[in-house]
Structure 1
Amino acid sequence: MNDNLFKESSATTRMLGDELRQLLREIDPAQGEPLLDRLAVEDHAVPLLVFTGYHSSGKSTLIEALTDRTFNVPIGSGVTTDSVTEYDWDGDVRLVDTPGVHAGRPHHDELAEQALQSADLVLFAVPVELFDDTLVAHLRDVLGRLGKSRQTLMVITKAGTMPTPAPGVREQAILEALGPFDKVPWVECDAQYYLDGLDLATSAPADSAAFIEASNLALVADRINGFARDHGTIGRVSQPLQQLLAISIEASASLVDDPDEQASLTVLARQRSALSKKRIHLDGQLEAQVAQFRGDAVRAATRFADAIETADDHGTVTDEKVQDEVADLNKQLRTALTSFESSVQDTLQAQFDDLASEVLEIEASPYGRVAVRLGDVQAEALGMDEVSVRAGSTTSQRSAPRWAGDLSEHLKKFHQMWGAGDGVKAASQSNGHKIVLSLGHTFGKKFKPWEAARTANTIGRAVKVGGAVIAVGSQLYDVYAGERDAVATERARAERRRNITQEVLAQADDISANALRTVRAGLDETLSPEFQRIDAMADAIHGARSTRSDHRSRLGSIQDGARAALARLAPDEVSAG
């Protein structure tokens, strides 16, 4: 396999160019499209290598050998090439086989000249018999009139068909052929030996290697590569690479970290923090309200038990007395429940009002003002009359990022849902109103059991049974004065008090548990989607950062590839950029 810097550099240019085009289509159109347009306009043709020389000088065989039989070029004696034939070598290099010069067909000379004028490198094939007057004239015409003296490599072909001449013979013949022109690099080879070696690669590997080495084609490839290195920086070979490098560097410069991203992420973080802290604070306050309600219920039950015991001590426990005390208990519990309901509603309203104020503070912060101005949302609707962009920001000069529209829509909805004016402070259809309304239904349903016959009968029976036991115990106490009966009496009283308190507290716990479930369910129903929206928006911005980092990395790879290719073309030079 013959390495060819023309092909390698062109292949690298094509590969890196495809990568750069794809990347420029992915970045912000405001930055990417102008660079993409430049890349399209300033794209260069692939290198053109033109083979010329005397007819039957081995030009076609040389093409076959250099490309490892890629094209199956017709090979034979006589005039085998009667037209300019172009071969596209994988889209990386164009190889042009010209008709034999002065092959007896005048138009051959014209076709060959047209190809030679466009050549990046001329491979001038000279048969091993060396020059005659016709070939000398053609060589000097190519070097002089066509101006290819610095773009010509002379290849002495069919070297294996004649014995090696005495030292200096070929050098002298070449100098005489050049005449007044500067020395042209030259190399001798036998391309047919190389092709024969390829044919023997499987059946006779040792012979194959010997033929390939004897062909000296590796030296031809080295000389072509040497030309690419020596002249690449001033020819078309390096220009596409230089252009790719320059455009990729400009693209990298456009991918600096966006200060507005940090502003937007800060706003989103503060929104999430405000909602999270408010939820935690609400839970704490609601638990305190529940504790207060349970305490009020226990105190009401205790007063009820005390009243029954007092009546019991005086022997006045009657059905009428029990009903009066139950009615008073219901009244006290109703008062406790009303206070609990009001305190929960007041807590919700106060916390939502406080949240609305915090939302306004977030929007009015420097970061909030920048975030609001990024997209299409009408900033006036949020009270954003002016925005002072910090030093170094290019908000007014750059197009808005792709996520700016989504952010603006999010900020607008967040303001409507949680901000003052048309948010939760609205009289109806707001999140806070819906939660409080649902809570009211819960209290309404759970209030009735306090007055239900089941509750009254349960408590009443406990009182009457307890009273009978205690009354009997008291009478026996006077007669027998037995310690056991006194203990039994106190146990009966304690059991009655415990039953009353547990009955009241169980219903109080049921009411408070349902109230908390209602509030928490309402908060979850409202806050969970909000958290998801905030997180999705933050993910989009982080994704833009990650994508930009990936783009920078890919551009760095493109630049490294271009620099490496340029270094191979000009190892002693430092490429720009």
Structure 2
Amino acid sequence: MINFTQIYTNFDHAIDNLKAILDQSDRPEAEEYRKQLQIETKALRANPILRVAFVGQYSAGKSTIISALTGNRQIPIGSGITTNEATPYSWNGIEIMDTPGIGTERQDHDDVTYAAIEQADLLIFCTTHMLLDDHIINHFRKLAYEKRYGDKMMLVFNKLSAEAGDDDQKIANYRASMIKALHPHSLDEFPVCFFDAKDYCEGVDEDDKELIEISRFPDFIKALNQFVQERDKLAQLSSPIRRVRGYTEEIERNWFCDKSAQNEPFLEVLTRLTRRIREERHKLALEVKRLSLNAGSAIRTFGSDFANDIPEFTSQIELDNRQKELEIWILEVYTQSEKDFNKAIENSVKSLQDDVTEILKSNLVSDFIATFESETELQSKSASKGWDFENMTNQARFLGEFGRDIGIKVSQKAIGPLGGLSTGSLGAAGSDAHKAILIIGKSIGFKFRPWQAVSFAKNIGNVAKFAGPVLGILTIVGEIWTAYDKSKCEREMREAQGQIDLEFAQIALNLELQFKEQQQEFESQTFDHLEMKIRSEREEYHNTKTGNSEQLGKLRRVQQQLDTLIQSLR
């Protein structure tokens, strides 16, 4: 589980350690690196990871929950109305909005709260066992279904210790009450947490680990983490961290390397390869994000259009036919998504192959490889110039293996007597890349899980469950409805429409998560693998060829800190 509250702290530690290395240097470029670090630090914090709005009745303990999360004990807390406007708090890249209580007969409070909800990524609905009545249930249903916010809602029960009894039994009772109150809707559609924020605050302030555990508040923090993961909210942090990682490599190469005539070309080749890999990673991420957003948006639009069309249906046959159309349309979206994703992977690999081929055919590499006309001649040349013969042969072998790793065709004739490569006959491996991409010795062809496996049938079944009864309302003709009857039917209609929206949002989210999972698997097999090979080669070389080992050791530790951060974002 990602502990996103530590991302900023760990990044700041890495930045401070890197600044300490820069402060020990009298090189003129050190000041420019300091400026770049300031820019990246601001970039990391430029946009909040998550916008969270806390809503609920005024005595549900919303302000206490926010105080527990942020550690800010100056937030007004009391048993009455303590919040009259939406108050923002910034916490570890998260923008938290404390809203006035809803349902207090203050229309201005409700207006402020609904405005905050519109802007939020996550809506946390706060209640307690004491407030669990028809009034609060109706507000929850209104937000989840009538207002169609269900796909971004979390339900939390605060003040768990306020009632005597076993916590597990109390939680079971609260769940049962909520399940009954929400019928025919399902509580399983929402993340639900039970905790006591006041106990957690006291546990933290008094360093009482047992009280912290009893409070169950850490479970709530984990649920927030899960939401961040599923919505891919941490992806925006990786770019500035990766750029800083690149600065450390520049510093290592320019400040600590042996730049002899023998070694400088090889190190420059490694730098160019790394740069191309990172550029390709970024391009693929943008393309997958575009595909994911388009596919998810299409499914959500299907649901929204269907929900809006509900009042127009006049028979069960009409409804059934539309449902069958939806199943076909969404299956087509899944099928096309799989094709589009694999095409994006093919294009990425082909682009990377072309980039690496271009580098291996460059004058820089050609001049380097030209020395390998024969082993005897190279040994003679190495001896006369004081070069390390074994080191050069290892460098040549590395370049040959690297080319083969990404599917570049390197024939036995091309690799020469030392197992390296010549640049005269390099080309992309195979013309049938569209069938199976051969890379790093593996055949890659990604398949999205069948729609049955992602509970698609269940979601569509739920749509029918909620849309069907509405037909009974629509087909009543000639009856005299009271104002109450009309209001009740309109509310039921809005709830059914909101439930349909929620079901389709879950289908869309599942597909978006599959895009992300497949992207991460591919990156692990390709970009991560290739960057690690280059890094290992560079470090192995530097371990024997660098000076000022103390400062280099510190720089390596900064690199490890940044690598750990990047990995945590995955």
TM-score range, shorter chain: 0.3 to 0.5
Q: Which has the higher contact order (CA 8 A, sep 6+)?
A: 2
Q: Greater CA radius of gyration, 1 or 2? A: 1
With structure 1 as the length reference, what TM-score do the two structures score? 0.41
With structure 2 as the length reference, what TM-score do the two structures score? 0.42
